[in-house]
Amino acid sequence: MNWLLIVIAGLFEVAFASCLGKVKETSGTEMYWWFGGFLLTLCISMTLLVKAAQTLPIGTAYAVWTGVGAVGTAIVGIVVFKDPATFWRVFFITTLIGSIIGLKAVSH
């Protein structure tokens, strides 16, 4: 259950990073709505991380949370924000996914 919380918290990390990207692209009232989304998703992500870290080792929980967030944010950046999808970028995203799976496999 706590592994699921970590993954969901990581997805909310993707959401708050994406909201920051939209804040940078917008202005006026729309910017404030995206900033509100950032604050909301940040709070949800942190709350889920704290909940999961109550039973998982903090180092593992934090590493997986940031890994899921980094992979998701990189993918959203490529798909939504048109960041370049170079070979090396995709290669290292793939190795990060392998590292997250590896942390899950060796955790007790």
pLDDT in tens, 57-87: 998 899 999 999 999 999 999 998 899 999 9
pLDDT of 105 reads: 87
Instruction: Quote the domain boundaries for residue 59.
Output: 2-106
Domain count, the chain: 1
pTM for the whole structure:
0.85
User: Which parts of the chain sit beneath pLDDT 50?
Assistant: none
CA pair distance 28, 32, nearest whole angstrom = 7
Given a contact cutoff of 8 angstroms between Cβ atoms, the answer to whether 82 and 100 are in contact is no
Q: How many residues does the chain have?
A: 108
CA pair distance 57, 17, nearest whole angstrom = 25
**Going by C-beta distance under 8 Å and a sequence separation of 6 or more, which residues neighbour residue 37?**
15, 16, 19, 22
